Structure 1
């Protein structure tokens, strides 16, 4: 297992990500992989002609460790680039991440043709599957991160009730927080106050500045944050009783783009080869694995 990735702590990249306007690229890195090009790749022939001609799959992305972190040289590290490198070996074209801010801007950017895909973490829902094809490749449970010095205030996730929770607008965290609120009120406790922000860096800044009591984020992000700043933060996990369940996270592509079937095949190949499991283990998120990738789980393919 690798040392916990050479990631820049979340707050350290605020200067890089904070300059972006919603919908406008903040930075464009070099393609994240040097993939086998063209017909030598196993699944190249499945790609739509537009992607073959471009020679690249353009991914929307924001700063969201450990999925994506922008390094000082403008390159990206994290789960997303590693997964894309594995997929590129199957598809024979490079992946390039273009940084944008805000989920709505990234989804709109795909529909306008600015981006070919977005890998979240974003939840597959029937509403989103009306406009996008979704290849599910992992799950998540929501974690609530707080300053380590407040550990006595948060012995368990019940203590999140009545608190100010920062989260990314439109994210899986916002949905799970609504379920937690239902549980809180059912138990006679106060619901949370959601502090909706544009990206993960903004939520951490809100916590550090006292604007929020906790940050709601994916389990993988909580694990990464504690690994990079062990003595600064701690977290509690939302339970099944509190409505956590298991949300399915997916890579999204515009409907009828021609990318869904080749992308699903590429995911199936890296599942079969064991590379998918290796990447998940490298980031200590084996419990977020799915048995197999699934296309459009809510609408039947």
Structure 2
């Protein structure tokens, strides 16, 4: 693979990966919205949320889920979905920037955030501390520069490469499974380069500190829609341990927010708003039939 030395500025990457997103509620305009006490699910909200008058979610830059614009507002799937949920709950959402999954999880436990909408994988271990509302799925994809396309006929080519991914993400776990397959095939394992957010992983690829970027299918689709001639991607297969991971909104267990939030998601599914958002961003394949609360602990 050839050497890439040009480092794209962070602002340019933000513009690149966010160009297919549409405006959503950011910190300023969400906080300015007064609670609607006559909303269908307002009475079910915990008193702490009613008193605060808003639901505060942790967030980072992870297009197409969230992109931070130059004015500080967020655009993407998450803000668009929040508008639909807010109409049911009667309070606005505010996204507060946080870096790294660990900071978001500890921030929720300390009361700094009311939740985090991922994309984060629902696991039994995490559900010891958090309620998880699964609302979509994903398969890990590996993004590469289009000029390297001949080297990536399929996902087996990821073996032996340097893979940039977000620390603690679905990608990190999926790559461990892929590496086991690589070893079983007599191939060299890939090296995982853990970084804080998606922008950092793209910068690593563009500066030749990584050969590929491991990310969700939705992120890969979004980036290719923005720059179809710049990147390509391959998806990890079931044979390589991919499976389908369930992605969820996390809420601190015992906060009293899980049940009304689940009801708000159910209303979004029933109204068709959920399906419209998934279609808008071209990720219908990642949609689920219905939202599920704590799937790995149900029953």
Q: Same fold (TM over 0.5)?
A: yes
**How far does residue 37 in structure 1 lie from its aligned partner after superposition?**
2.9
The match for 2:120 is 122
The correspondence for 2:237, drawn from 224, 236, 239, is: 239
Are 1:149 and 2:152 matched, yes or no? Answer: no
Can you list the C-alpha shifts for 1:115-174, whole angstroms capped at 9, x where unaligned? 000000000000000000000000000110011100011111011111110001100011
Residues 230 and 168 of structure 1, relative CA distance in 2, 3 Å threshold: same
The match for 2:136 is 138
SS at match of 1:126: coil
Counterparts of 1:1-301 in structure 2 under 5 Å?
11-12=10-11, 29-32=27-30, 37-300=35-298
- Structure 2: state its 5+ residue gaps: 1-7, 16-25
Can you list the C-alpha shifts for 1:66-123, whole angstroms capped at 9, x where unaligned? 0000111111110000000000000000000001100000000000000000000000
**How far does residue 39 in structure 1 lie from its aligned partner after superposition?**
2.3
**How far does residue 234 in structure 1 lie from its aligned partner after superposition?**
0.7
TM-score normalised by the chain length of structure 2: 0.91
Work out the CA distance in 2 between the residues paired with 1:254 and 1:186.
39
Work out the CA distance in 2 between the residues paired with 1:10 and 1:142.
26
Work out the CA distance in 1 between the residues paired with 2:279 and 2:234.
22
Contact 2:35–2:90 at 8 Å: present in 1 too?
yes
Contact 2:31–2:54 at 8 Å: present in 1 too?
no
Contact 1:122–1:172 at 8 Å: present in 2 too?
yes
Residues 261 and 31 of structure 1, relative CA distance in 2, 3 Å threshold: farther
Residues 292 and 15 of structure 1, relative CA distance in 2, 3 Å threshold: closer
- Structure 1: state its 5+ residue gaps: 1-8, 17-27
Contact 1:35–1:92 at 8 Å: present in 2 too?
no
Contact 1:141–1:237 at 8 Å: present in 2 too?
yes
Residues 298 and 15 of structure 1, relative CA distance in 2, 3 Å threshold: closer
**How far does residue 195 in structure 1 lie from its aligned partner after superposition?**
0.7
Contact 1:10–1:65 at 8 Å: present in 2 too?
no
TM-score normalised by the chain length of structure 1: 0.90
Residues 118 and 73 of structure 1, relative CA distance in 2, 3 Å threshold: same
Contact 1:138–1:288 at 8 Å: present in 2 too?
yes
